[in-house]
Amino acid sequence: MAIEEKNQEGLRSGNLSVSRRDFIEKAGLATVLSSFGVAFFTSCVSSDDSDPTGSTPGGGSTSNGITISGSTIAINLTIQTRLASAGGWLLIETAKTLVANISGTYVAMTSVCTHSGCFDSWSFSNNRFICNCHNSIFDSAGKVVQGPASTALQVYSTSVSGTTLTISK
Ligand code: FES
């Protein structure tokens, strides 16, 4: 009887101990996941809020005039006025797309650099895109002007209807 009670108590204790351990592990995991979720959410929000080049969350119409639907990007040129004049450009981070006004003609291409995949750090000067990661330079047709990249950027088709610029990837 004493042994049984001891065993039962031992099992109970063991179960209780495991339960506590499980609880602590799960609570710790929940805390980590919760923190990650908050950090991820904050990161997304701050990225959208701080991005001076007009990135937009995927899907839906947004206040920055950029709508992403599948492989199509529609840009309201009355909102994205920086594209209205020659030399204006955008990096649409969420769609990993570069777009520029080259003497009144719109060009668009992937922002995923063919050197090692940077997609979110670009400059534009003299009708050339510069990947800021390792300074590869691409012309307005996506061709490499200066390495280390050796392969052209994938170019997308563009069309304008009214005040909407559409990019088809
Ligand atoms: Fe663009 Fe290296 S990733 S130059």
For range 120-146, the mean pLDDT? 97
> Does the CB atom of residue 134 touch ligand 1 within 6 A?
yes
My answer on whether 39 and 83 are in the same domain is no
The DSSP line for 68-133 is: EETTEEEEETTT-GGGSSTT-EEEEGGGTEEEEEETTEEEEEE-S-TTT---S-EEEETTEEEETT
pLDDT in tens, 50-89: 334 444 434 445 678 999 999 999 999 999 999 989 999 9
Task: Please tell me which residue, 29 or 159, carries the higher pLDDT value.
Answer: 159
Ligand 1 mutation target, pool 134, 144, 145, 153, most atoms within 8 A of CB: 134
Is residue 135 in a domain? Answer: yes
My answer on whether 71 and 150 are in the same domain is yes
Say how many domains are in the chain: 2
Rounded Cα distance, 169 and 127, in Å: 21
102: Cβ contacts below 8 Å, ≥ 6 apart: 86, 127, 140
Rounded Cα distance, 31 and 34, in Å: 5
My answer on whether 84 and 143 are in the same domain is yes
Is residue 53 in a domain? Answer: no
Is residue 58 in a domain? Answer: no
My answer on whether 157 and 82 are in the same domain is yes
pLDDT in tens, 13-59: 333 444 444 444 444 444 443 444 333 332 222 223 233 444 443 44
> Does the CB atom of residue 136 touch ligand 1 within 6 A?
yes
The reported pTM is 0.66
Ligand 1 mutation target, pool 96, 109, 116, 130, most atoms within 8 A of CB: 116
Nearest CA to ligand 1 atom 4: 134
My answer on whether 98 and 148 are in the same domain is yes
Give SS3 for 168: strand
* Residue 63: predicted pLDDT: 77
My answer on whether 31 and 97 are in the same domain is no
Is residue 157 in a domain? Answer: yes
